[in-house]
Amino acid sequence: MRPDCESSESCKPVKVTMVIPSYWSRESTVGPMAGDAVYDHPTPLDHEGTLLRTLQSLNVLQDSDFQVVVIAAATATDIETRVEEQVAGVIKSVSVQVDVFLWGATQLRKVYDLLAAGGKQEYIDLLQLRGYSNIRNLCLFIPHILESDMALLIDDDEVFEDPAFMSKAKEFVGQRHQEMRVDAVAGFYLQGDGGYRVRRESQPWMQHWDQYAQMNAGFEQIIATEPRLKETPFVFGGNMAVHKNLFTVVPFDPNVRRGEDIDYLINARMFGFRFFLDNQLAIKHLPPGKSYPVWRRLREDIYRFVYERAKLNSQVQVEGMTRVYPEDLAPYPGAFLQADLDMKIERSCKLLSEEYLAAGDSEGSEEALRNITLARTDAVPKFDAFQNMCKLQKRWQQLLAYTGSAEIRSQIREDCRVGEPVNPGVPIGAKQG
């Protein structure tokens, strides 16, 4: 039973839209080109990928009172049409108990046209199909257009194993728990071995970059202990339920290149919203292997932490907002948002450079050392990251207020019904009333 279910309002059925971004790249025989978007493991167009497996696992769920939207994300604009066709084919091939729809560049262009026709061109840049944070914002915008109470963010390299997953995901969001409003709930990932800990072999260069150790310490503190629901310093972007009270007010920050899920938690806290982790809400995470070199993966984390630290450090007192400190995010990611981040970066990159040299990889060694320079220069935002977030939040709230009118919502739903639902001819959003 849902908490606080004495009132009829809290017992109303929860309208849920599950959104699954699916990332696709050029054929493996072509490979990436200059200017292509960079994602961890996009599926080449000549490969099957993991989306089909994710959609098939929906049949495990006992509760089928929700709809699914798959976002077709291409690494380059010139393959967008082919990516949409590929994803549509996957959706069409699967037999599941819920309606599954496609959202891609075609639908986004229609939204642009509507905004332009209404004289709202200034909001078009908030809706983009490139970059993790921008695509996560579409994961919030689409449920908003569909008048959903809850956006459920899932990734296409996961499978459902718990039949009660949906009932658990709906249980607390939008309710009050121990006198606190639950604005969003994150679940956690089960790794391939069935556990929740990150299994990575420790390397000598990691002695100053104990990211995995800090992550596991956080997991032990939040996932492995009672009570079931508790406020959390970290979240998992592929297992996240966000109530409309939050997603219509706070967006993901497009300036974050990766780690956008935890950054969203920070943004939510700044604007007075509460994020919880449910230690019973698990999904199996089965990602393909990452092909990028260690120096590059470390570089992405450096950019992320330098930016987030700048955002925290530039906070000023604003009425109605809450100041967030690195200590509030301990042990992870707080350990990487302190003053000693620069020292961690320098020492770790020097050790990594030495490892590359010992292995005869001079290019890797140079790139590892270059990370130190980039951390002091290019990674540092050239603007006030906090004030920028405040301006972004206002614009996001204005965009969602405008597109939240009955007329605009109806127009977008009508224009964006293009796609391949499992049940053909059902307009997007029509099944849930």
Whether residue 9 is predicted with pLDDT greater than 50 in this model: the reply is no
Q: What is the mean pLDDT of residues 6-15?
A: 58
Residue 21, SS3 per DSSP: strand
Side-chain-side CA neighbours of 262 within 13 Å: the count stands at 27
Mean pLDDT of 221-245: 96
**pLDDT tens digits, one per residue of 127-147:** 999 999 999 999 999 999 999
- pLDDT category at 8 given cuts 50, 70, 90 is very low
Kindly state the average pLDDT of the residues 42-58: 94
Asked whether the predicted pLDDT for residue 433 surpasses 90, the reply is: no
- Please provide the average confidence, as pLDDT, over all residues in the chain: 91
Evaluate whether 196 touches 94 at the Cβ level (below 8 Å): no
**Is 217 in a helix, a strand, or coil?**
helix
Among candidate residues 328, 335, 327, the one with its CA nearest the CA of residue 208: 335
pLDDT score for 13: 62
Beta bridge partners of 229: 278
Residues linked to residue 153 through DSSP beta bridges, in sequence order: 19, 240
With a cut of 70, say whether residue 427 has pLDDT above it.
no
Are the C-beta atoms of 276 and 172 separated by less than 8 Å? yes
pLDDT, one tens digit per residue, over 301-354 is: 999 999 999 999 999 988 889 999 999 999 999 999 999 999 999 999 999 999
16-290+386-415: CATH, from 3.30.450.20, 2.40.50.140, 3.30.70.580, 3.90.550.10: 3.90.550.10
Give whole-number Cα distances, 242 to 15, 68, 268, 308, in Å.
12, 15, 11, 21
Residue 424 has pLDDT above 70, yes or no: no
Domain boundaries, the chain: 16-290+386-415
Residue 34 has pLDDT above 90, yes or no: no
Q: How distant, in Å, are the alpha carbons of 182, 276, 329 from that of 177?
A: 7, 10, 21
Residues with Cβ within 8 Å of 260's Cβ and at least 6 positions away in sequence, in order, are 132, 133, 136, 237, 252, 253
The burial class, CB within 10 Å (0-12 / 13-18 / 19+), for 275 is: buried
What phi, psi does 100 have (nearest 5°)?
A: -120, 125
Per-residue pLDDT tens over the stretch 170-227: 999 999 988 899 999 999 999 988 899 988 878 899 999 999 999 999 999 999 999 9
What contacts 298, CB < 8 A, 6 or more positions away? 209, 348, 349, 352, 368, 371
The mean pLDDT of 398-413, rounded to a whole number, is: 94
Higher pLDDT, 11 or 238: 238
The predicted model scores a pTM of 0.92
**Dihedral angle of Cα 243, 228, 187, 193, to the nearest 10 degrees:** -170
pLDDT at 431 > cutoff 60: no
Q: Find the range with the poorest average confidence among 107-111, 213-217, 263-267, 416-420.
A: 416-420
Rounded CA-CA distance 265/187 in Å is: 13
Q: Does pLDDT of 394 surpass 80?
A: yes
Q: Which residue has the higher pLDDT, 139 or 99?
A: 139
Q: Where does residue 35 fall: left (phi above 0), alpha (psi -120 to 50 degrees), or beta otherwise?
A: left
Q: Are 157 and 288 contacting, i.e. CB atoms less than 8 angstroms apart? A: yes
pLDDT at position 192, please?
Answer: 84
Distance between CA atoms of residues 407 and 203, nearest Å: 57
Find the mean pLDDT for residues 152-159: 97
Question: pLDDT tens digits for 271-315?
Answer: 999 999 999 999 999 988 766 799 999 999 999 999 999 999 999
Lowest-confidence pick of 103-112, 245-254, 320-329, 423-432:
423-432
Instruction: Check pLDDT > 50 for residue 6.
Output: no
